[in-house]
Structure 1
Amino acid sequence: MRNSLLERKKSFASVSMGEEKPFDFFRTFFEGVIAGGAAGVVVEAALYPIDTIKTRLQAVHGGGKIDLKDLYSGLTGNLAGVLPASALFVGVYEPTKQKLLMTFPENLSAAAHFTAGVVGGFATSFIRVPTEIVKQRMQIGQFTSAPDAVRLIISKEGFKGLYAGYGSFLLRDLPFDAIQFCIYEQLRIGYKAAAKRDLNDPENAIIGAFAGALTGAITTPLDVIKTRLMIQGSANQYKGILDCVQTIVRKEGPSALLKGIEPRVLWIGIGGSIFFGVLESTKRLLAQRHPAPHQDSNTKHD
């Protein structure tokens, strides 16, 4: 009975890396890079118009109307940043997660997932911030091409202009990455324990949609702050994160911090469904190329 309970506990925590095979960092990193890059590009290409609408809603002051033309403005340049960012994020997240799961007690698997999300988010921030700035400036019509955007931002604002709002980006994206992946991983663990089997692609997609939508709603105020700081350019309308919050609340009311919440939740919910569905499917295909003896190839990725 004792052995049975221990096995059940291990199954629920889903942290077993398989005693038959040692942890392979480089293979895990490489497979994460491929899976993350594929998932990121598919999501960005599919949902870019919704993201553009969200950005324009957040950028407009007061009750102004937004332009619904050129909703794919900046997509090509953004994909050039999204591909390496998504690839690097998952490439860092997967081995970090698995190493932490081997180190942390089994009842702290959520802490391992949360921490791995923070590490992955920070590692990719140096790519994601310039990409986000160029994308959002193009979405609101400041520039017509990514190369022009980069050149003009540097000429007018200096190289630091490509990292405007870096602190607010970390304030939004580190909690977002950590919360989203933690919710997703924990829901998968619970679902697998209840179903007593591996999840299929539609189930992974549904869990990913819920995790994305919930995280998107929670972090909307942080996203509004980040957007305002990134698009202000050389005007320096806001002196920092705190001043940005105070100015928005004073001039537009507290509800302005929730601007764009509907398209954001829709975008990230659908995006989470696509991203995690493609991610798990790609990881499984890669794992099947190197099946571990006496071990289900999917187990080691949980």
Structure 2
Amino acid sequence: MGPLTLAVDAKSCSTDAGDKRVQNLPLEIRKSFASVSMGEEKPFDFFRTVFEGVVAGGAAGVVVETALYPIDTIKTRLQAAHGGGKIVLKGLYSGLAGNIAGVLPASAIFVGVYEPTKQKLLKMVPENISAVAHLTAGAVGGLAASLVRVPTEVVKQRMQTGQFTSAPNAVRLIAANEGFKGLYAGYGSFLLRDLPFDAIQFCLYEQLRIGYKVAAKRDPSDPENAIIGTFAGALTGAITTPLDVIKTRLMVQGAANQYKGFFDCVQTIVRDEGPSALLKGIGPRVLWLGVGGTIFFGVLESTKRMLEQRRPKLHQNSKDE
């Protein structure tokens, strides 16, 4: 809670023999931009928070992936192409079903871990550095979800670049030709991209929402949450594009092992294609993540609110039974 300043009128404290009255003391609350105590603090329910995060995260992830998959496919093909390779615009939904099968649990895990971690950390850190809680919670959520997201991403990108025609086939052949570790190709580069991405995107989103709450003196509406999500997604996507290019190259190289690792991949791309190649696909990526941020955070917040609104009804029903 920020510092409290009591503005007291000296006359209001005067007393008479027959009537001792103290007028209402106006209370001015000064809050920093990073303050998070907007409204009455609710008790923390760990299991309900996890459950609602899982449902909201899963719903948001599936909606975004289904709506924007073609843009993601174009981005992947741009990044995977060496030199001036031609980009094929057919089969833009290749691998969607298999990808959703991975995105649903990955998104559910991310938000299911992020929400309780964020709420716990916000109780531990001072309000003026709440960004630390958001950054940390985003990274923790991303790390937990990576166990599902990486194999999903490997299979998706191999299918987007035409290496396989079905997700089950891709999993079977990758495991047979490259071993189980093939499903985690580029895991290190994925973490180097996604942990900063998750941390920065969710921190930006949360801090922008807090700033809006302070300025408007109310919670943002669903459309306003969506607009805030657009800025957070697009900006973070642009910043992390070079890491995304490296992750894509490592994931799609297969058993050829053209690159020996993260730093070898960077050196090879810069040497053979020039530094600008590290920004390949930045247009589709920013578009994808900007629009994706709009949809994801809009669906996420509306789903969370819907679940929260059901709480009193559930409690009331249990009392009536």
Provide TM-score, normalisation by structure 1. 0.93
1:211: which partner in 2? 232
- For residue 287 of structure 1, the aligned residue among 283, 293, 308 is 308
1:298: which partner in 2? none
Pair 1:288–1:46, CA change in 2 (3 A):
same
2:5: which partner in 1? 2
Greater relative CO, 1 or 2 (CA 8 Å, sep 6+): 1
2:285: which partner in 1? 264
Aligned pair 1:115/2:136, yes or no?
A: yes
Deviation at 1:192, TM superposition (A): 1.0
1:34: which partner in 2? 55
Pair 1:56–1:11, CA change in 2 (3 A):
closer
Look up the equivalent residue of 1:2 and give its one-letter code.
Answer: T
2:268: which partner in 1? 247
Aligned pair 1:46/2:46, yes or no?
A: no
Deviation at 1:276, TM superposition (A): 0.1
- Residues 2-44 of structure 1, C-alpha deviations (whole Å, 9 max, x = no match): 2645x4428961146955x531110000000000000000000
Please, what is the CA RMSD of the aligned residues? 1.5
1:172: which partner in 2? 193
Aligned pair 1:137/2:158, yes or no?
A: yes
- Structure 2 portions without partners, runs of 5+: 7-26, 314-321
Distance in 1 separating the partners of 2:46 and 2:71: 36
Distance in 2 separating the partners of 1:100 and 1:44: 30
Identical aligned residues as a percent: 80
Aligned pair 1:79/2:82, yes or no?
A: no
**Aligned with 1:198: secondary structure?**
coil
Distance in 2 separating the partners of 1:10 and 1:246: 44
Deviation at 1:57, TM superposition (A): 0.2
Distance in 1 separating the partners of 2:236 and 2:203: 10
Q: Is the 8 A contact 2:238 2:285 kept in 1?
A: yes
- Structure 1 portions without partners, runs of 5+: 293-302
Matches within 5 A, 1:54-93: 54-93=75-114
- Residues 103-160 of structure 1, C-alpha deviations (whole Å, 9 max, x = no match): 0011110000000000000001110000000000000000000000000000000000
1:104: which partner in 2? 125
Q: Is the 8 A contact 2:33 2:211 kept in 1?
A: no
Q: Is the 8 A contact 2:38 2:213 kept in 1?
A: no
More helix by percentage: 1
Provide TM-score, normalisation by structure 2. 0.88
Q: Is the 8 A contact 1:17 1:23 kept in 2?
A: no
1:297: which partner in 2? none
Look up the equivalent residue of 2:177 and give its one-letter code.
Answer: K
Pair 1:17–1:27, CA change in 2 (3 A):
farther
